[in-house]
Amino acid sequence: MQEAAERFGAQCIVVAIDAKRQTAEIKRQNEEEAEAWKVYIHGGRTPTGLDAIEWAQRMEAYGAGEILLTSMDRDGTKEGYDIPLTHAIAEAVTIPVIASGGVGNLQHIYDGLTAGGADAALAASIFHYQEYTVRQCKDFLAERGVRVRF
Amino acid sequence: MQEAAERFGAQCIVVAIDAKRQTAEIKRQNEEEAEAWKVYIHGGRTPTGLDAIEWAQRMEAYGAGEILLTSMDRDGTKEGYDIPLTHAIAEAVTIPVIASGGVGNLQHIYDGLTAGGADAALAASIFHYQEYTVRQCKDFLAERGVRVRF
């Protein structure tokens, strides 16, 4: 039991956060202000009005074990994770963050784990149709000094 | 570095698998056959023809660190995870499985971590609008003997 917990960590609650950029709105308020993201639910259709960074911090304070952070702007685009979003959330909390939304190639995974500061990188469709194998991904990351658990 | 790895595990690749039940199709082939699920991509719109259990095993063999398993049948329904699906995948692989799709209350999370055999339970909308707090969830699970990492 202890061994299993050490290997995988104990069971945990992963809180999913779907975030969309609010650059236009923020710009109207203050040209100098940094980027901001809001939380959406129901697959990105319903805005909650919550700031994504504040919500992530509240979820950590309430006891979330991990955060699955999906950029609704990037999801499905294959243009890469929203790195500023990922970095902002990863900096704001101490629990692990899984980056999600937009992976199109192995460089994107590398970027999410390094510049984005994510603890894990979520991918789905790049492993279908033999675009890339997970093993290729591991080698790509290892060659660039990213320590990965496989 | 070692400390961080022990705390969070090293960085890893999480492979997302979106699965849909194929009960009708299977029943036509063999009335006695067990349930089966197929892998879909592009938010559940595109069938790959792949069996979800076989795909999960292949992803593990290829080096995936975790699997995020979403039931496309349950996603958004608040009827609970697809427990037979979750159990089938959790039994078929040794890497951690995150259950996803369908959580509507704390009992669903409990069921995913026990009957479903998942290592983590993903939830989003139940923590919005103060339906439940993560802390309530932790207490609910702890009272029922589920060891959770928070």
Q: Per the CB < 8 Å rule, is A64 touching B148?
A: no
Query: Least CA distance to A108: which residue of chain B?
Result: B13
Average pLDDT, chain B: 83
CA distances, B135 to each of A9, A49, B96 (Å): 19, 22, 23
Per-residue model confidence (pLDDT) at position B77: 92
What DSSP state is assigned to residue A15?
Answer: E
pLDDT for B127 beyond 80: no
Residue whose C-alpha is closest to residue B11's, from A14, A56, A97: A97
Minimum mean pLDDT among A61-65, A115-119, B65-69, B90-94: which range?
A: A61-65
CA B62-B102-B79 angle, 5° bins: 140
User: pTM for the complete prediction?
Assistant: 0.85
- pLDDT, tens digit (0-9, with 9 covering 90-100), for A42-63: 778 889 999 999 999 998 887 8
B119: left (phi over 0), alpha (psi -120 to 50) or beta: alpha
* Candidates B39, B123, B135; nearest CB to A15: B123
Q: Per the CB < 8 Å rule, is A120 touching B96?
A: no
* Candidates B14, B62, B141; nearest CB to A98: B14
Give the residue, B142 or A70, on which the prediction is more confident: A70
At B5, the amino acid letter reads A
**Separation of alpha carbons A22 and B110, rounded Å:** 35
Per-residue model confidence (pLDDT) at position B3: 39
Residues of B in contact with A64 (CB under 8 A): 134, 150
